[in-house]
Structure 1
Amino acid sequence: MARPNPSAAGAPLALLIVAGAIIGGMLHQPLLGAVIGAAAGIMIAVVVWLRDRSKIGH
C-alpha cells in the first residue's frame, strides 16, 4: 500500500511570523507580533502534523 504524502506546514509558519512582525510593527511592538505569529504558526504546524500522523495510522 502506498504511503500518503505528508502535508507541509512550513509556509503558514513563515507567513504568520512575518505577518505578526508587520502587524506588531504597526503597533510599535514588532517582536511581540513575531512571537505571537510564531506561536500561531507552531499551533497550525502541530495540527497538520497530528492530522498527517493519523492518516498513516500511527
Structure 2
Amino acid sequence: MAPSNQRSTSAGGFIVAASLMVGTIIGLLLGQPSLGFVTGLGLGAVVAIALWLKARG
C-alpha cells in the first residue's frame, strides 16, 4: 500500500478511547462497569464510523 500524503482531519480513535473511559466511569458509579465499558465502546464506534463516513464524502 502506498503512503498517503493526505492527512486525516478527524480523530475517531480519540473518540472511541474517551467514550470507553467515560462509559467505564459512569458504569462504576452505577455498579455496572462492564456494561458501561460495552456501552462506551458501542457509542464511540458509532460516532467514529459516522465521522469516517462524513469525511469520505
TM-score above 0.5: yes
Match of residue 5 from structure 1? 7
CA RMSD of aligned residues (A): 1.4
List alignment gaps of at least 5 residues for structure 2.
none
Q: Does 1:39 align with 2:42?
A: yes
Superposition TM-score, scaled by structure 2 size:
0.82
List alignment gaps of at least 5 residues for structure 1.
none
Poorly superposed stretches of 4+, deviation over 4 Å? none
Distance 1:41 1:49 in 2: 12
Distance 1:28 1:8 in 2: 30
Q: Which of 22, 35, 38 lines up with 1:19 in the alignment?
A: 22
Distance 2:47 2:38 in 1: 14
Q: Does 1:52 align with 2:30?
A: no
Letter in 2 for 1:19: V
Residue identity over aligned pairs, in percent, reads 38
